[in-house]
Amino acid sequence: MSWWIWVLVGIGLLVVEMATPGGLFALFFGVGALLTAVLAAAGAGATGQWLAFSVLSVVLLATLRQTLQRRLASKAAPAVDSLVGEEVMLLGDLPAGGEAQAELRGVPWSARAASGLELRKGQRCRVERIEGVTLFVRGE
């Protein structure tokens, strides 16, 4: 096979990886195809190219996939539980037992008073707990 076909296959597999949710399979086969393109350009025969593509792809997959997944997972968005203790500002009056909007990190959330006391618009509060998408806040 010509070297440029391997380049097209490699680029195609990398595009597939970007278009699909994080399995990280096509990535290693795409890299294997690009490395095989180098061998094809150097004059390797068709059997050697297919063997190199298979071996390179599987070895890369087996050795690097878990490490790469762990690295990507560590850079994921923080868990919602990490918002406990954060400061919020009420965007409206929060009646006792009622619900209002509160701003946390520039995003409006539903908020309820954790203590059951009435809170005022503009008041700064702390997140005590989170249930679903509702923040339970206490006044400061």
Per-residue pLDDT of the chain (140 residues; tens, 9 = 90+): 899 999 999 999 999 999 988 688 999 999 999 999 999 999 999 999 999 999 999 999 999 999 988 887 766 555 666 788 899 999 999 998 889 999 998 889 999 998 878 899 999 999 998 888 889 999 87
pTM: 0.56
Top CATH class, 80-139: mainly beta
pLDDT for res 81: 62
Contacts of 52 (CB under 8 A, 6+ apart): 32, 35, 36, 39, 44
pLDDT for res 77: 58
Give CATH 2.40.50.140 domain extents, the chain.
80-139
Q: Which tokens go with 63? A: 């050795």
pLDDT for res 78: 57
**Among 129, 130, 111, 131, residue whose Cα is nearest residue 121:** 111
As a whole number of angstroms, the distance between CA 126 and CA 124 comes to 7
